[in-house]
């Protein structure tokens, strides 16, 4: 009886996956970043958000990346006494609401490094953070190896990391892995390599607990140091690379 149940379950899951439609993908197959989709965020966040809100130590440039063999490579470097990296967003150019959003990526390794693939509510300029909501599909910090963080920030949590899950994966630094969310009007499921690692589904949904009924935009960055990533940075580990093979959206 159990065997038949498992077969039915697998068939159902497979059928659900085949019904999905790929509606957008970024394969980084142009020689330069497509600036009709992506923005560079530059500097250290000052004067409005010095340290990018987390006391991070890097300065973002439009020079710390390359596109090579269909991959976006973000470089973290220390040049004299300055840490440099890259941060890109789709704000005001490409937004997402519901569906499956995934990236295939390879992590950098080193104490103080903090790569992320995440989202912010499109209304952030009107309502501010955390009322806009935040979805952290992937966060990794070098000071906690073999661990992936999947988190959400809302007004209800006052921006604190309450709605979160730490997942231990011993091989996460080895090669590429797929980081994804499946987002509906009722819940957000988080996946690593198609394994469900966390579900966020508050019983009471209002603007403070569930700001996820609106469009969001994507952010990819490699931070250095900061409240979560550091504060200490292992300079001997630099330079390092955060490599993104592709991003896909399914509906």
Which residue is associated with the tokens 């497979």?
A: 14
The set of catalytic residues is: 134, 139
Opening angle at CA 198, ends 192 and 199, nearest 5: 130
**Contact residues for 164 (Cβ-Cβ < 8 A; gap 6+):** 136, 149, 150, 151, 152, 198
- CA–CA dist 12, 61 (Å, integer): 46
Residue 211: how many other CB atoms lie within 10 Å: 24
Peptide bond into 72 cis (omega under 30): no
């Amino acid at each position: 009886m159990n065997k038949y149940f498992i077969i039915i379950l697998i068939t159902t899951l497979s059928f659900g996956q085949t019904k999905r439609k790929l509606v957008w993908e970024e394969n980084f197959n142009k020689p330069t970043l497509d600036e009709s989709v992506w923005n560079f965020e530059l500097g250290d966040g000052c004067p409005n958000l010095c340290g990018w809100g987390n006391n991070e130590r890097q300065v973002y440039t439009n020079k710390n990346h390359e596109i090579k063999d269909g991959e976006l490579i973000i470089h973290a470097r220390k040049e004299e006494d300055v840490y440099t990296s890259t941060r890109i967003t789709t704000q005001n150019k490409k937004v997402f609401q519901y569906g499956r959003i995934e990236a295939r990526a390879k992590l950098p390794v080193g104490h103080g490094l903090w790569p992320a693939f995440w989202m912010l509510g499109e209304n952030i300029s009107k309502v501010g953070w955390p009322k806009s909501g935040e979805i952290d599909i992937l966060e990794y910090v070098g000071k906690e190896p073999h661990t992936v963080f999947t988190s959400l920030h809302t007004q209800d949590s006052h921006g604190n990391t309450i709605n979160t899950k730490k997942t231990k994966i011993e091989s996460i630094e080895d090669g590429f892995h797929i980081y994804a969310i499946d987002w509906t009007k009722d819940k957000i499921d988080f996946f690593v390599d198609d394994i469900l690692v966390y579900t966020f589904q508050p019983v009471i949904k209002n603007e403070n607990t569930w700001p996820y009924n609106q469009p969001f935009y994507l952010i990819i960055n490699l931070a250095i140091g900061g409240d979560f990533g550091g504060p200490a940075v292992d300079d001997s580990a630099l330079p390092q690379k955060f490599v993104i093979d592709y991003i896909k959206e399914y509906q």
